[in-house]
């Protein structure tokens, strides 16, 4: 069976392992630099297996080299945002994490999924320093924003969230770009269900969603939503599902952008990104996409 490695046994890493176990996607290996933590978390998860009926094995390790044999490695380590912080504020503190595992996984055949913040900048940094091809280094990016928008539309319309297909591209920050005309509810254009003024209000809520969770909890950033987005992405890779999901990758000429990373829709399967998709954008949308990409580039340059 395939194996998915998770770097970081905190809230995000442990819940990602939980969701992967619930879906029986693949065996899971958790690594954390705090001795015994990953083994303890894995044991806790597996003791629920008789009830939850996991059909996979979850175990921990104190040896990071064990990650080299994994088909997918999710990097969910590092510091999280505190109230009042921007994602870019974490770059100086978390870039060492990206560089450490870029060196460890250089030359591996794994698909690497970046979940540490700021995800776009760290995805680009990892790609540039690991030597892995861009299609095998993907950030969860606006995958979380897509899920949050589906929830907001469901709350607004009273319709089943499973029927909602939202499209959000760009940087995972205030420059994220929800695409109204590509968003559907069971095939019905969202503009038939949500007026433009209310749509703009929902987009404002979407852009503030992460900050709101931090401000309310005061203790940690969100992790249930991100963990589910990570599990969804890892499952698409391991099972070669060829799903269209927004992922952050190092760009090479898309919309004229290079040497920066933002999310675009992509066909995801075995090996990571099979094909990047470039939705038609108007001038205003292109400007917002470029502003987000330039912000990521500025973070990298810092």
Q: Among all residues, which ones are annotated catalytic?
A: 172
| Bridge partners, 165 (sequence order) | 184
Tokens 């619930």, located at residue: 22
CA distance 161 to 215: 25
189, 49 Cβ separation under 8 angstroms: no
**DSSP string of 170-184, one letter each residue:** B-SSTT-EE-GGG-E
**DSSP string of 107-132, one letter each residue:** T--PEEEE-SSSHHHHHHHHHHHH--
CA distance 74 to 112: 6
Q: DSSP secondary-structure letter at 22?
A: H
Q: Quick one: the chain helix, strand, coil %, rounded to 5?
A: 50, 20, 30
Alpha-carbon separation of residue 16 from 90, 125, 221, 243, 287 (angstroms): 21, 23, 15, 19, 34
282 burial level (CB within 10 Å; 0-12, 13-18, 19+): exposed
Alpha-carbon separation of residue 23 from 49, 53, 75, 138, 145 (angstroms): 12, 10, 20, 21, 22
Helices 143-157 and 196-207: crossing angle in degrees, nearest 10, is 140
């Amino acid at each position: 069976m395939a194996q998915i490695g998770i770097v970081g046994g905190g809230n995000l890493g442990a819940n990602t392992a939980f969701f992967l176990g619930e879906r029986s996607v693949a065996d899971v290996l958790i690594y954390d630099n705090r001795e015994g933590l990953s083994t303890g978390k894995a044991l806790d998860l597996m003791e629920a297996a008789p009830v939850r009926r996991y059909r996979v094995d979850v175990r921990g390790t104190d040896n990071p080299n064990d990650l080299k044999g994994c088909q997918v490695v999710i990097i969910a380590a590092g510091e999280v945002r505190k109230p009042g912080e921007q994602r870019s504020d974490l770059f100086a503190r978390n870039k060492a994490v990206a560089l450490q595992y870029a060196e460890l996984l250089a030359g591996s055949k794994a698909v690497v999924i970046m979940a540490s913040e700021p995800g776009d900048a760290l995805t680009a940094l990892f790609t540039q320093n690991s030597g892995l091809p861009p299609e095998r280094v993907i950030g969860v990016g606006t995958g979380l924003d897509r899920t949050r928008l589906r929830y907001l539309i469901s709350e607004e319309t009273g319709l089943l969230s499973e029927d909602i297909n939202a499209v959000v591209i760009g940087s995972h920050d205030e420059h994220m770009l929800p695409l109204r005309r590509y968003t559907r509810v069971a095939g019905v254009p969202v503009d038939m269900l949500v007026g433009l003024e209310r749509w703009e209000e929902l987009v404002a809520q979407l852009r503030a969603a992460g900050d709101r969770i931090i401000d309310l909890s005061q203790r940690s950033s969100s992790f249930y939503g991100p963990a589910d987005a990570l599990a969804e992405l890892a499952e698409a890779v391991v099972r070669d599902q060829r799903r269209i999901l927004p992922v952050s990758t190092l760009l090479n000429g898309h919309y004229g952008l290079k040497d920066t990373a933002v999310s675009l829709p992509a066909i995801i399967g075995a090996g990571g990104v099979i094909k990047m998709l470039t939705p038609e954008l108007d001038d205003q949308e292109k400007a917002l996409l470029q502003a987000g990409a330039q912000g990521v580039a500025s973070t990298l340059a810092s």
